[in-house]
Chain A
């Protein structure tokens, strides 16, 4: 069974700082998704990466897929309080998804 490890588990930073969170797998991803979950709500999809080395940008968020498709990172530039939440990576199989343990981010104003 594929295992997804995310680091760090918790991150508390000041508004305006940059940060990077990581998702690592014990095996190759077919594709990798990043979700954000706000308190009291379900996760919402941010991005899907498919190709090794792929980089996708979503405003201040930059997602990178490792060349070997076993790791991924999410970089946030100039974090804002609205970025606060739980960030989850997920690997997709034919029908099933495996989620990482998550990085809980808090951005202080």
Chain B
């Protein structure tokens, strides 16, 4: 099991360029999440997908779109990148049920927007 995988690991964009961050999980989890992490601000939720076919906004959705392609894959798109979107992006999936509730995180994508 690879767990949660993210691509790419690093990316540099110019202001106004677009890109898609890819995330996949092989644990058959229903829920998936996208977070951004900035110094001194912890993890902030961008979008989440409670189950295949649904997506909802988190705390900081402006400037982003998501697609839950299937149960395994949840992508994050920046249509027109801005320097304020320079951050480390984490994807997570969630296992929950009777007696357990845990998020599993990918290794992150470090994005710089010039």
Contact = CB atoms under 8 A, between A and B. Distances in A.
B39 to A, nearest CB: 10
Interface stretch (A37-45, A53-61, A67-75): A37-45
Given A42-B90, A43-B43, A88-B42, A95 B101 contact: no
Interface in B71-108: 90, 92, 101-103, 105-108
- Which range contains the number of A residues in contact with the other chain? 20 to 34
A42 B42 contact: no
Given A9-B40, A42-B92, A45-B102, A95 B31 contact: yes
Contacts of A40: 107-108
A92 B101 contact: yes
B41 interface: yes
Interface of A: 1, 4, 6, 9, 31, 33, 40-45, 48, 88, 90, 92, 95-102
The 9 closest A-B pairs by CB, nearest first: A42-B105, A99-B43, A99-B42, A101-B42, A95-B50, A45-B102, A102-B42, A42-B90, A43-B105
